[in-house]
Chain A
Amino acid sequence: MPGLGTSFGRGGATTFLQDLANADCILIEGSNMAEAHPVGFQWVMEAKRRGATVIHVDPRFTRTSAVSDLHVPIRAGSDIAFLGGLVNHVLSNDLDFREYVVAYTNAANIIDEDFRDTEDLDGLFSGFDPETGQYDPATWRYDPPDDAGAADRQEDAELEASEDSTRSGEAHKESHEAAESESHGSGGAPVSWKGRRDETLQDPRCVFQILKRHFARYTPEMVQEVCGIEPAQFRQVADALTRNSGRERTTAFCYAVGWTHHSVGAQMIRTSAILQLLLGNIGRPGGGILALRGHASIQGSTDIPTLFNILPGYLPMPNAAQHQTLDEWVADDEGKAGFWGNIRSYAVSLLKSYWGDAATADNDFCFDYLPRITGDHSTYTTVKAMIEGGCKGYFLVGENPAVGSANGKMQRLGMANLDWLVVRDLQMIESATFWKDGPEIETGELVTEEIATEVFFLPAASHVEKAGSFTQTQRMLQWRDKAVEPPGECRSELQFYYDLGNRIREKLAGSTDEMDRPLLDLAWDYPVDEHGDPDGQAVLREINGTGPDGVALSAYTELKQDGSTACGCWIYCGVYADEVNRARRRRPHWEQDWVAAEWGWVWPANRRQLYNRASAAPDGTPWSERKAYMSWDAEQQTWVGPDVPDFVPDRAPDFVPEEGAQGPDAIGGQDPFVMQTDGKAWLFAPLGLADGPMPTHYEPPESPVHNPLHAQQNNPSRRKLDHRTNPINPSWSEVFPYVFTTYRLTEHHTAGGMSRTLPYLTELQPEPFCEVSPRLAAERGLTHGEWVTIVTARTAIEARVLVTDRLRSLRLGDRFVEQVGIPYHWGRNGITQGDSANDLVNVTMDPNVYIQDKVGTCDIRPGRRPRGPALTAYVDDYRRRAGVDMEHPEDGGADR
């Protein structure tokens, strides 16, 4: 998500599924869309029917590949090298959409003279601190503008004077310790100025030239050496993309967790953003980057987050080192160009929604009631704290980490060391029963009678037994009505949490302890039905926000910083405009144009295509008739087209902001990226990312391959989890010679609680399996359909093996690399049962978002795995033979 957020200003898909039909070419990479998003895939097929070229880049040949024009097998985790090769192809052959690039991106910006590239420092950018493994981005910034105002110069002088002190360097490190990149979900990183630009793109320090040098070594031959892709096939892809981009044609990209689940995940997405910007494909019909989320409301649960580092609308959680007052909290972003510059209005309105009348100007609107973060409090770090006794109470709400999270053993050991655990689900999932039938009970590592955890299993209401909204993959809120009452003691989360809040507040009523004030002053009053279930529409209305007259607001531009408005999530403001639940709109598509603006509601402001100002040339006319979308109507002095303009509606293309303008007033007529603090899309990210301003290929934390580009093997700022339960296979190990990657099947859903329990689905996919190439099968003596054991330094699991050409042996230089594909849906409960693939996966995380890397190395052998304590001994033997350093288990030895 910060991959998109730092590039464009918002961390959501830039386009929508139906618009794929307008694409002339679709590149699907990091996604098996036909199997994981089958119904959405109809729009790819629609594009193909209209003549589009469809390309699938994936380690496995799947049903997506089967209907694509081209399947490109790739080594799992090497996507930056491939995409970087395409960037190099575009830049070295002058195939970029120059007018778009100059006008709408930061290609022309001049970067600080002290900036050094990975090409200069053998895999590191300037500013790296090897002690902490973190970057200081001071040298990545824009050169100040020639006409920098006095305030800018003053700020610059202060920055120079403080020389790497709090303002830039330390603050950046602390921010990234707290995964602050994610707060760019709807608002880019705050740069000090728009900066000096050379629109001829000739200055050697301009972004365009830096980018050109950075990717110069990503040649087709290098792509082959890293990814195993033949140069001829690479050229086919390059030609298809460049032929189908420009004024007359557009190319769309689709990705899913095949990109996000890597220790360089954000940078994989960044590389695709750079490529799509160079080709001029963002903000235009049939273009864009479609992030395919994996769950009904993944997008919604980051917009209105249950995440440690952000509050609703991507407002950052306050950080103790930087934010002790409301002023400090909003200081970095307030007044910067674009709509994010109004952050104070959004922040104050949220505090008003939380604490109502108790929040006043005199008390900083209860800012002090917000708990502060001091670093990484993400799920994996929290699980480690559980094992070590630092966290004792745990709520699992529709989650099954014993199966669904990386390194399942860590998860179960953490849960076994709690005081209490609350599990809310539809079915009896593995995370609720680990204490009596988990794998560690079988091996003797845990003993039921010694586990002190008190477990509450509370049955949950299903999606038809409660009313509420999901936000799906294209940022669309769709309301569900309640069909029936939940059975027995099943309840919605809305009812459970409302009830829990009421009881806690009753029990604490009368407390004079200052620590209880935020609970007692909380605005916690919702209408309930006869069963005690709160009215979801009342909550949605609070999320939408209300004005001083108590009436629902229509747009976030109405939010005020004086406390006269309340709004629970500023980017959702408008979903309840005119007191109408717009997420509930169901106007059939045959009664609307293809954009279908009256079905559901899309954030922000019901815009379907983001950055759609870029669908017109700088002068406001369409780039071409064929790709017309939004354009400037000089007569009416407004932007017109089938969508809501993602721009100030009456801002003319030739508008130049006044000196010193702030917020939306500072958006120029040719600045389509209205959430960026400079109005431009970022080919080079001077701020906002923890691991560099540009993507660089690094090997996954576990890899059989030496990084051919740099001596630096792995992402130097990747986040390691140092614990004995999380040993990393040494890189280049002959004991773990194969690559594995996990994936999902059409017929099952994530950790299986919603699919392994259903007869239809278990009949369709009845047991766990893995797939390997015929060459690997011959090498290890594996027989199609028989049992095999897959082992890593974490544990060993068993599955049936599918020997198939769907997995290709990849030739990298003079060697072959073999890959094992493993669906991850299984656990020990449900109708169909089996070992969990996630037990194999290590926890090494992307430094921006703390998401694990789903790629690792393994061994695979014929036959079933050992049972009981013999399993532990078997894995111990592997660790010993591979030389896993259990004193420093977290880095695989490649850093030393």
Chain B
Amino acid sequence: MAEADGNRTRLTGWPGHDGFEDRARHQTGNASACNLAGAATERFGRVACGYLTHVLANLSWPLLRQVTGPDRLGRGHAARSQRSEHLQPRTVEADRVVDSVCPFCAVGCAQKVFVKDEKVIQIEGNPASPISRGRLCPKGSASKQLVTSPTRETTVRYRRPYATDWEDLDLDTAVDMIADRVIRTRKQFWEWQEDGPDGPQRTRRTLGIASLGGATLDNEENYLMKKLYTAMGAIQIENQARI
């Protein structure tokens, strides 16, 4: 057993692990069952021992297999049943697997996104990452819920000034209205110069428009945002990095 345990420590977590469990069971399974049954020997005699050993070795109760076999943590073969042998993970049915990165904290754990029929069916850690080595925390593990959440908003909502509730608005109209408002507010608060200690100094800007956001956005998105805002002359551009 000691030798077998030593081997298992080395092999845990690598492909072939399960094969090892099977091998180990063949080598040591019966002997263990006999040891466990040893206490019964004096009471029931040699015949009983032989019978019990035979029964235990052939019973398929997971708990028995766990305490008698090499899989003492019950995380491998011992936990399997006839039914579980035929179960397949959702991931097997995926049409494709896409490389991604967890969107929560800044560790940047690598994710694999499993897609079937253009829907996300599972998100798992990617063991190839040198940083996360396949692990995800509770938030990262919940990221399938994040992207498939039924409470996600998927249509534009619009609240008129002084209104007490939302109303619908199509996306195209909304973006057009926003463009109009940017142009109007930009002009309303446009400033070519401001008084400085030595007279007026050129500022070429608008103080009417502000923005907050970015730390969960992509670099490319931040880049376009800053580029467009800068060209607008908007300077109050901020993100979570300051909060």
24 contacts between A and B (CB under 8 A): A39-B107, A42-B135, A299-B106, A307-B238, A371-B233, A373-B205, A390-B207, A395-B209, A399-B215, A454-B159, A455-B157, A457-B153, A457-B158, A459-B152, A462-B103, A463-B101, A484-B119, A489-B154, A489-B156, A490-B154, A504-B182, A518-B232, A534-B224, A536-B218
Q: How far is the CB of B204 from chain A (nearest CB, A)?
A: 5
Asked if A569 is an interface residue, CB under 8 A from chain B, the answer is: yes
> Residue-by-residue, is A291-306 near B (CB-CB < 8 Å gives 1, otherwise 0)?
0111111111111111
Residues of B within 8 A of A38 (CB): 137-138
What separation, in Å, do the CA atoms of A296 and B137 have in the docked complex?
A: 14
**A419 & B146 in contact (Cβ 8 Å cutoff):** no
> Residue-by-residue, is B199-243 near A (CB-CB < 8 Å gives 1, otherwise 0)?
001111111111111111111111111111111111111111111
Residues of A within 8 A of B130 (CB): 18, 589, 592, 594, 596, 599
Asked if B46 is an interface residue, CB under 8 A from chain A, the answer is: no
Residues of A in contact (CB 8 Å), total 166
What separation, in Å, do the CA atoms of A297 and B231 have in the docked complex?
A: 24
Asked if A427 is an interface residue, CB under 8 A from chain B, the answer is: yes
**A539 & B224 in contact (Cβ 8 Å cutoff):** yes
Asked if B98 is an interface residue, CB under 8 A from chain A, the answer is: yes
Q: List 19 other contacts, CB 8 Å, given A456-B174, A599-B129.
A: A39-B109, A296-B106, A297-B217, A297-B218, A307-B238, A308-B236, A354-B227, A382-B238, A395-B212, A398-B217, A401-B243, A459-B153, A463-B143, A470-B101, A470-B218, A508-B183, A515-B190, A519-B232, A851-B242
* Cβ 8 A contact of A468, one of B135, B140, B218: B218
Q: How far is the CB of A325 from chain B (nearest CB, A)?
A: 10
**A321 & B201 in contact (Cβ 8 Å cutoff):** yes
State which of A93-101, A473-481, A791-799 sits at the interface with chain B. Answer: A473-481
> Residue-by-residue, is A342-372 near B (CB-CB < 8 Å gives 1, otherwise 0)?
0000000000011000000000000011111
Q: How far is the CB of B96 from chain A (nearest CB, A)?
A: 8
Query: Known contacts A427-B149, A436-B165: does B103 contact A539 (CB below 8 Å)?
Result: no
Asked if A747 is an interface residue, CB under 8 A from chain B, the answer is: yes
Asked if B178 is an interface residue, CB under 8 A from chain A, the answer is: yes
> Residue-by-residue, is A437-472 near B (CB-CB < 8 Å gives 1, otherwise 0)?
000000000001111111111110011111011111
Asked if A49 is an interface residue, CB under 8 A from chain B, the answer is: no
Asked if A648 is an interface residue, CB under 8 A from chain B, the answer is: no
Closest to B137 in A: A38
Asked if A500 is an interface residue, CB under 8 A from chain B, the answer is: yes
Q: How far is the CB of B179 from chain A (nearest CB, A)?
A: 4
Asked if A405 is an interface residue, CB under 8 A from chain B, the answer is: yes
Asked if A161 is an interface residue, CB under 8 A from chain B, the answer is: no
Q: How far is the CB of B169 from chain A (nearest CB, A)?
A: 8
Asked if A406 is an interface residue, CB under 8 A from chain B, the answer is: yes
**A503 & B179 in contact (Cβ 8 Å cutoff):** yes
Residues of B within 8 A of A634 (CB): none
Q: How far is the CB of A249 from chain B (nearest CB, A)?
A: 24
Residues of A within 8 A of B104 (CB): 295-296, 749, 754
Residues of A within 8 A of B217 (CB): 297, 301, 306, 397-398, 493
Residues of B within 8 A of A37 (CB): 105-107
**Hey, which bits of chain B sit against chain A, CB under 8 A?**
98-110, 113, 115, 118-120, 123, 126-133, 135-143, 145-147, 149, 151-162, 164-166, 169-171, 174-183, 185, 187-190, 192, 194, 196-197, 201-243
Q: How far is the CB of A314 from chain B (nearest CB, A)?
A: 12
Asked if A501 is an interface residue, CB under 8 A from chain B, the answer is: yes
Closest to A317 in B: B235
Asked if A499 is an interface residue, CB under 8 A from chain B, the answer is: yes
| Dominant secondary structure at the B interface | mixed
**B178 & A500 in contact (Cβ 8 Å cutoff):** yes
Asked if A435 is an interface residue, CB under 8 A from chain B, the answer is: yes
Residues of B within 8 A of A378 (CB): 238, 242
The 9 closest A-B pairs by CB, nearest first: A468-B218, A397-B213, A472-B108, A488-B154, A371-B205, A588-B128, A596-B130, A293-B106, A589-B130
**B231 & A369 in contact (Cβ 8 Å cutoff):** yes
**A459 & B156 in contact (Cβ 8 Å cutoff):** yes
**A482 & B98 in contact (Cβ 8 Å cutoff):** yes
Residues of A within 8 A of B179 (CB): 500, 503-504, 507
Closest to A370 in B: B230
**A452 & B161 in contact (Cβ 8 Å cutoff):** yes
Q: How far is the CB of B38 from chain A (nearest CB, A)?
A: 37
Residues of B within 8 A of A750 (CB): 240
Asked if A385 is an interface residue, CB under 8 A from chain B, the answer is: yes
What separation, in Å, do the CA atoms of A515 and B206 have in the docked complex?
A: 10
**B225 & A426 in contact (Cβ 8 Å cutoff):** no
What separation, in Å, do the CA atoms of A522 and B206 have in the docked complex?
A: 17
Q: How far is the CB of A12 from chain B (nearest CB, A)?
A: 11
Q: How far is the CB of B207 from chain A (nearest CB, A)?
A: 6
Asked if A872 is an interface residue, CB under 8 A from chain B, the answer is: no
Asked if A759 is an interface residue, CB under 8 A from chain B, the answer is: yes
Residues of B within 8 A of A196 (CB): none
Q: How far is the CB of A213 from chain B (nearest CB, A)?
A: 34
Residues of B within 8 A of A391 (CB): 189, 207-210, 236
**B240 & A399 in contact (Cβ 8 Å cutoff):** yes
Query: Known contacts A757-B149, A759-B145: does B107 contact A298 (CB below 8 Å)?
Result: no
Residues of B within 8 A of A458 (CB): 156, 171, 174-175
Closest to A508 in B: B183
Q: How far is the CB of B198 from chain A (nearest CB, A)?
A: 8
Q: How far is the CB of B127 from chain A (nearest CB, A)?
A: 8
Asked if A816 is an interface residue, CB under 8 A from chain B, the answer is: no
Asked if A580 is an interface residue, CB under 8 A from chain B, the answer is: no
* Cβ 8 A contact of B213, one of A317, A395, A590, A755: A395
What separation, in Å, do the CA atoms of A311 and B209 have in the docked complex?
A: 18
**B129 & A589 in contact (Cβ 8 Å cutoff):** yes
**B113 & A320 in contact (Cβ 8 Å cutoff):** no
What separation, in Å, do the CA atoms of A747 and B143 have in the docked complex?
A: 12
Asked if A680 is an interface residue, CB under 8 A from chain B, the answer is: no
Closest to A594 in B: B130
**A426 & B237 in contact (Cβ 8 Å cutoff):** no
**A478 & B110 in contact (Cβ 8 Å cutoff):** yes
* Cβ 8 A contact of B105, one of A294, A373, A759: A294
Asked if A732 is an interface residue, CB under 8 A from chain B, the answer is: no
Residues of B within 8 A of A401 (CB): 212, 243
Residues of B within 8 A of A492 (CB): 218, 221
Residues of A within 8 A of B194 (CB): 320, 374
Q: How far is the CB of B242 from chain A (nearest CB, A)?
A: 6
Closest to A448 in B: B164
**A406 & B243 in contact (Cβ 8 Å cutoff):** yes
Residues of B within 8 A of A436 (CB): 164-165
Asked if A555 is an interface residue, CB under 8 A from chain B, the answer is: no
Residues of B within 8 A of A392 (CB): 185, 188-189, 208-209
* Cβ 8 A contact of A308, one of B141, B204, B215, B235: B235
Asked if A377 is an interface residue, CB under 8 A from chain B, the answer is: yes
Asked if A424 is an interface residue, CB under 8 A from chain B, the answer is: yes
Asked if A669 is an interface residue, CB under 8 A from chain B, the answer is: no
* Cβ 8 A contact of B210, one of A382, A428, A588: A382
What separation, in Å, do the CA atoms of A320 and B208 have in the docked complex?
A: 18
Q: How far is the CB of A676 from chain B (nearest CB, A)?
A: 23
What separation, in Å, do the CA atoms of A405 and B102 have in the docked complex?
A: 23
* Cβ 8 A contact of B176, one of A472, A503, A746: A503
Q: How far is the CB of A428 from chain B (nearest CB, A)?
A: 6
What separation, in Å, do the CA atoms of A321 and B201 have in the docked complex?
A: 7
What separation, in Å, do the CA atoms of A353 and B220 have in the docked complex?
A: 13
Q: How far is the CB of A174 from chain B (nearest CB, A)?
A: 9
> Residue-by-residue, is A487-511 near B (CB-CB < 8 Å gives 1, otherwise 0)?
1111111101111110110011000
